[in-house]
Homo-oligomer: A and B are copies of this chain.
Amino acid sequence: MKKIITISREFGSGGRSIGKEVANRLGYKYYDKELVKHVAAETGFAPQYIEEQGEYAPGKHKFSYAFTAPGSPGIMDGLSASDFLWNIQRRVILKLADEEPCVIVGRCADYILRDRDDCLNIFIHADKEYRADRIVRLYGESEKKPVKRLDEKDKKRKVNYEHYTGRGWGSPGNYHICLNSGLLGQDLCVETIIALATKEE
């Protein structure tokens, strides 16, 4: 029985829908953007800002060091805003995982919770055609071509993951199982995850 399920996913692969459905069926808490609220409460940062920084490229944005002025010692501890947020987010994830069974999507949760043996770590991916088609259906057209949107989002997630974990994003070795949602379909992914999570050891 796995108390925590972490889901890493390529953009557009349906990892979030799969995670939500797994959480619903198992009666687990579900966190992805939800996490932002908890982090916002701890930091006072605007939720939108945390959402953008929480999973994306580290260290290179205009707010870095903006809050480390003399007079506010200790608040940021001299860290960049990205690193500061990473630390808070890490603490929130460790705390939530301790509280009750949950599904956590993204945010390097597989790495942050690597010392627990009640975690099931999943990677969801699919080919670009499937994902491009899916994001256009879900989020509509935009000025950017769908494949460009995929590449940009994935690149940001990859850079963020590799920066903070030192491991390869989407490398099978990080996960119990990698599921190709394009080939298997969402339902079969959900069923496979539930079967693995509920297995008595």
Tell me if A176 is interfacial: C-beta within 8 Å of chain B: yes
Min C-beta distance of A62 to chain B, whole Å: 35
Q: Which of B173, B188, B191 contacts A180 (CB 8 A)?
A: B173
Q: At the interface, is chain A mostly helix, strand, loop or mixed?
A: mixed
> Using an 8 Å CB-CB cutoff, how does the interface string of A188-201 with B read, 1 for contact, 0 for none?
10011001100100
Tell me if A28 is interfacial: C-beta within 8 Å of chain B: no
Contact, CB under 8 Å: B196 / A123: no
Tell me if A170 is interfacial: C-beta within 8 Å of chain B: yes
Inside 8 A of A123's CB, which chain B residues have their CB?
A: 172, 178
Q: Which of B173, B180, B196 contacts A176 (CB 8 A)?
A: B180
> Using an 8 Å CB-CB cutoff, how does the interface string of A160-189 with B read, 1 for contact, 0 for none?
000000000010110111111001100010
Inside 8 A of A191's CB, which chain B residues have their CB?
A: 195
Number of chain A residues close to chain B: CB under 8 A: 20
Tell me if A125 is interfacial: C-beta within 8 Å of chain B: yes
**23 pairs from A and B in contact (CB 8 Å cutoff):** A123-B178, A125-B173, A127-B173, A170-B172, A172-B172, A172-B178, A173-B180, A175-B178, A176-B179, A176-B180, A176-B183, A176-B184, A177-B177, A177-B178, A177-B180, A177-B184, A177-B192, A178-B178, A184-B196, A188-B199, A191-B195, A192-B192, A195-B195
Inside 8 A of A176's CB, which chain B residues have their CB?
A: 179-180, 183-184
Closest partner residue, chain B, to A182 (CB atom): B173
Closest partner residue, chain B, to A125 (CB atom): B172
Inside 8 A of A188's CB, which chain B residues have their CB?
A: 196, 199
Inside 8 A of A175's CB, which chain B residues have their CB?
A: 178, 180
